[in-house]
Amino acid sequence: MDRMIATAQFGQQDIARRMGLNVTDLTCLGFLMEASAAGESLVAGDLAERARLTTGAVTGVLNRLEKAGYIRRTTDPGDRRRVYVVMEENAQARILEIYGPVYQRLGSLFVDYGPDEIAVLTDWFTRARALFAEALHEIREGTPGSPEGDGTSSGRG
């Protein structure tokens, strides 16, 4: 698991570089794509919260994403202070040019599994993500989740 996470982290750096972005920009772009796919409209403050950034830092991210042609900002006609972040029409196609081969490989991996096995994998990853998020919250807050809290690892991964 640790090797997969490390590979993903290095991969994000390589992908961000290829897209002319940094990893934080790419992460924020991912949140925007996820929201767009769900039919949500994000404002800059929502993005700051999801990415755990200050609103000032998100302004810089949005400036870079807009300059790179991935997003545009639109103001709320009812509240001019509220700025919505919208994916540009060609952004997803540009992103899939780079991510496409990764998704194809992962998709071809799934043909080796039946529906019941995929259900187990889906359940595991969903639950593991929630546990990982919980543990990271504890790390950020400085509250160890176990009585040991000695910083040693189990050596598993």
Q: Is the pLDDT of residue 146 over 60?
A: no
For residue 153, what pLDDT band results from cuts at 50, 70 and 90?
A: very low
- In this prediction, residue 12 carries a pLDDT of 92
Higher-confidence residue of 152 and 99: namely: 99
* pTM of this structure: 0.77
- In this prediction, residue 5 carries a pLDDT of 87
Summarised one tens digit per residue, pLDDT across range 13-58 is: 999 999 999 999 999 999 999 999 899 989 999 999 999 999 999 9
Q: Is the pLDDT of residue 147 over 50?
A: no
pLDDT average, residue stretch 136-154? 65
Largest pairwise CA distance in the chain: 55
For residue 149, what pLDDT band results from cuts at 50, 70 and 90?
A: very low
Summarised one tens digit per residue, pLDDT across range 58-116 is: 999 999 999 999 999 998 888 888 889 999 989 989 999 998 999 899 999 999 999 99
Please report, for residues 9, 70, 71, 98, the alpha-carbon distance to residue 90 in angstroms, rounded to integers and kept in the order given: 26, 8, 10, 13
Q: How far apart are CA 78 and CA 120, in angstroms?
A: 46
- Residue 88: how many CB atoms within 10 A of its CB? 15
Contact 28, 47 (CB under 8 A): yes
- In this prediction, residue 145 carries a pLDDT of 61
Q: How far apart are CA 10 and CA 7, in angstroms?
A: 5
